[in-house]
């Protein structure tokens, strides 16, 4: 009797494992995420559109720190910097660096990513931040920035770095783009493992993973949502598909990575750099040395005590 039970249990286990392999090996369809530019005509329209963003945020945010930011000199400046925050974080992440750029005479725009910073404080909100919403966000920030500066410069961290990369690929009229530690894949996992887990997680219910040791911060969601990560990776994969066939719309790209970063997959970032080079774009590449010990979120002072040193290097790379 015991042998029969073990055989049945073994058979069930094999079926489950086979099903899991099937879910992970069958590729997930990746959407085509084409740009739909609608730039503002002038400074006043840019401020008006930003006002609409602020109005939409009223009453839905978990704290004032999660709100979108516009640092403006009251008129169109020579340069405007669009700063795109990281996944689970909020515009507050860029406040200190944005102020440095503002003090140098630039307008600075930091708009909250879709489904971020909501009053629920629940990272599960990110399962609704679809690749299409990220595409629309990328268009929106460039459209508004067009009225804030003669030259539009875009800087993004993590998934914000992926959106910055999408802008580099798709948005003509942007002068320069700096992706920082873009999240095209997870950690140091081999590429096939990344895509296996991506396919699998796309087909099973969302899980919110919140480490008990993570400190509570009123501008950051704790933990990660598996469908949120899937959304971000799907958005990034759509970019690779385009980069294989088309030259980037922006020629001046500064790709910044962190050799100490075990949160995102730097190898996949290198693959995108290669695709861009093959298509005729030669990005400037800078790597923060491993011995500096910077975390993935090298920008937020609540994550990196040495954020000021990072700012100094970024300002140097940007010529500021």
Unique residue bearing structure tokens 């920082």: 180
Whether 311 shows a pLDDT value over 90: the answer reads yes
Whether 161 shows a pLDDT value over 90: the answer reads yes
Higher pLDDT, 242 or 12: 242
**pLDDT tens, residue by residue, 209-262:** 888 888 889 899 999 999 999 999 999 999 998 998 899 999 999 999 999 999
Percent of the chain with pLDDT over 70: 91
Nearest-angstrom CA–CA distance, 244 and 276: 8
**pLDDT tens, residue by residue, 164-215:** 999 999 999 999 999 999 999 988 778 777 787 777 777 888 989 888 888 8
Complete domains list, the chain, with CATH: 30-318 (3.40.50.1820)
Structure confidence at residue 11 as a pLDDT band (50, 70, 90): very low
pLDDT at 12: 47
Mean pLDDT of the chain: 91
pLDDT at 216: 87
Whether 281 shows a pLDDT value over 70: the answer reads yes
pLDDT at 5: 54
Whether 22 shows a pLDDT value over 70: the answer reads no
Whether 6 shows a pLDDT value over 70: the answer reads no
pLDDT at 1: 56
pLDDT at 198: 77
Structure confidence at residue 2 as a pLDDT band (50, 70, 90): low
pLDDT at 8: 45
Structure confidence at residue 15 as a pLDDT band (50, 70, 90): very low
Whether 51 shows a pLDDT value over 80: the answer reads yes
């Amino acid at each position: 009797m015991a042998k029969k039970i073990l055989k049945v249990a073994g058979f069930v286990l094999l079926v489950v494992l086979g099903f899991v392999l099937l879910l992970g090996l069958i590729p997930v369809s990746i959407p085509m995420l084409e740009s739909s530019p609608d730039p503002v005509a002038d400074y006043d329209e840019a401020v008006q559109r930003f006002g609409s963003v602020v109005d939409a945020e009223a009453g839905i945010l978990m704290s004032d720190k999660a709100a979108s930011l516009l640092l403006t000199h009251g008129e169109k400046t020579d340069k405007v910097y669009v700063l795109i925050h990281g996944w689970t974080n909020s515009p507050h992440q860029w406040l200190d660096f944005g102020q440095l750029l503002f003090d140098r005479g630039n307008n600075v725009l930091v708009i909250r990513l879709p489904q971020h910073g909501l009053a629920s404080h629940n990272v599960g909100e990110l399962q609704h931040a679809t690749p299409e919403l990220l595409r629309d966000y990328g268009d929106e920030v460039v459209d508004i920035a067009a009225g804030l500066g003669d030259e539009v410069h875009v800087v993004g961290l993590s998934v914000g770095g992926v959106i910055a990369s999408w802008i580099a690929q798709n948005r003509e009229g942007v002068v320069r783009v700096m992706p920082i530690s873009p999240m095209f894949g997870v950690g140091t996992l081999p590429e096939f493992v990344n895509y296996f887990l991506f396919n699998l997680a796309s087909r099973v219910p969302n899980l919110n993973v919140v480490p008990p040791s993570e400190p509570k911060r009123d501008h950051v969601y704790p933990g990660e949502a598996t469908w949120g990560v899937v959304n971000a990776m799907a958005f990034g994969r759509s970019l690779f598909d385009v980069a294989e066939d088309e030259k980037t719309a922006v020629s001046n790209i500064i790709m910044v990575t962190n050799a100490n970063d075990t949160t995102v997959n730097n190898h996949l970032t290198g693959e995108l750099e290669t695709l861009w080079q093959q298509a005729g774009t030669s990005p400037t590449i800078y790597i923060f040395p491993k011995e500096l010990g910077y975390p993935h979120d090298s920008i937020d002072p609540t994550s990196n005590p040495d954020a000021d040193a990072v700012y100094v290097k970024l300002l140097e790379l940007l010529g500021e």
